[in-house]
Amino acid sequence: MAADPVTMNDRAELPASQENGFDSSSYALHWGKNPNPSPSEENGFDASSYALHWKNANPSLSEENGFDASSYALHWKSANPSPSASLVPEAQTRHWHIKVKTGMLFLKKILHVGTILPEGTMFARADMPKPDSSVSTPLEPKYFATIVSRFKIPYNSMKAKQVAETLHSCVNPIDREEPQVCTSSRKAMARFATTALGSNLTQAALTKIHGHESPTTRYVVAQIAQLSNHTVACHPMDFPYEVFYCHRPKEVQALRVQLNDMKNGMTRVTATVMCHMNTSNWDKEYFELLGGERGEPVCHYMPQNYIMFY
């Protein structure tokens, strides 16, 4: 079999998921009509940093005991961030149906050398979904019962709801015009990226943490470099094993950002960043949250378990 054309940027390897959980994402967006949901954050799959949770995917399921598959827990605060030219807004916030995790989402205009990220910004998660090559069940809603039965997930649990939402999102994406795929195979992910980008020289960029990450570390932007305007982003999903949603978004800019420790100047994180350059059709609440105007570029960091191809 021919070697996969995708190479790793800076010799980075695709991060194999670790044991003990599904914790994959970092600035979760949970969509719904209820402005005051109270989901339990315990024992879930919180897999994505900006996980998309679909309206009415299975509203009868309990909100308790989900998969904590995302990159770090949510801590709610007042929805009154005050972004400045040198500080990423405190993104731990509840603003109607948008939930954002600390430091992940910000206006592009505040990204420059010297920008300080809020305390509590973290890019790693110890418990991420683990690859399972033995599973061949299609990622479609009609196989929901098969999947929850195989993994012994209680039907009326938060984990079951997250499985239902992931399966729903895989067949009902937000933007049907852009190339996209849900996959549990990293080889399939790389093939999709190569095809979507139309190049056999595709590279994968990942956020790399240098040393041990602490929630008390304050990060400051030290360097910014542009990678490409043509990218495929792969986001981990809330699921009992590793599943990625990959898509090729339009009108984006991919960056690499070096973050140093504000105290000692040591390099702590080499992060990938995705900037959406045209947000004219985004929900106005994003801009109320960030203190910006609809249409202006909005960026997000991609945590350690996200993969960007360019």
Worst-scoring range by mean pLDDT, 60-74, 109-123, 198-212? Answer: 60-74
**Which pLDDT does position 205 carry in this prediction?**
96
Helix (H) or strand (E) holding 276: strand 267-276
Is residue 2, in this structure, part of any structural domain at all?
Answer: no
Q: What is the pLDDT of residues 183-205, one digit of tens each?
A: 999 999 999 999 999 999 999 99
Is residue 1, in this structure, part of any structural domain at all?
Answer: no
- Count Cβ atoms below 10 Å from residue 137 Cβ, excluding itself: 12
Chain-centre distance of CA 41, in angstroms? 17
**Which pLDDT does position 9 carry in this prediction?**
40
- List Cα–Cα distances, 151 to 154, 182, 233, in angstroms: 9, 19, 28
Give the CA angle between residues 248, 293, 80 to the nearest 5°. Answer: 105
What confidence tier does 149 reach under pLDDT thresholds 50, 70, 90? very high
**Which pLDDT does position 176 carry in this prediction?**
73
Is residue 28, in this structure, part of any structural domain at all?
Answer: yes
Q: What is the pLDDT of residues 226-262, one digit of tens each?
A: 999 999 999 999 999 999 999 999 999 999 999 999 9
User: What percent of the chain has a predicted confidence (pLDDT) above 70?
Assistant: 68
What confidence tier does 43 reach under pLDDT thresholds 50, 70, 90? low
Q: What is the number of structural domains in the chain?
A: 1
User: What is the distance between the alpha carbons of residues 255 and 205, in angstroms, rounded to a whole number?
Assistant: 10
Average pLDDT over residues 270-294: 93
**Which pLDDT does position 30 carry in this prediction?**
34
**Which pLDDT does position 296 carry in this prediction?**
97
Per residue, the 3-state secondary structure of 205-255, as one string, reads ECCEECCCCCCCCCEEEEEEEEEECCCEEEEECCCCCCCEEEECCCCEEEE
Helix intervals (H) in the chain = 144-150, 158-171, 186-197, 284-290
**Which pLDDT does position 67 carry in this prediction?**
58
Which residue, chain included where needed, has tokens 């190569």? Answer: 194
User: What is the distance between the alpha carbons of residues 157 and 69, in angstroms, rounded to a whole number?
Assistant: 15
Average pLDDT over residues 289-308: 94
Which residue range is the domain that position 140 belongs to? 7-309
Worst-scoring range by mean pLDDT, 46-50, 157-161, 162-166, 288-292? Answer: 46-50
pLDDT over threshold 50, residue 27: no
Is residue 230, in this structure, part of any structural domain at all?
Answer: yes
**Which pLDDT does position 76 carry in this prediction?**
25
User: What is the distance between the alpha carbons of residues 231 and 217, in angstroms, rounded to a whole number?
Assistant: 30
Any residues with CB less than 8 A from the CB of 126 and at least 6 apart, and which?
18, 20, 21, 23
- List Cα–Cα distances, 287 to 53, 65, 103, 252, in angstroms: 20, 32, 15, 18
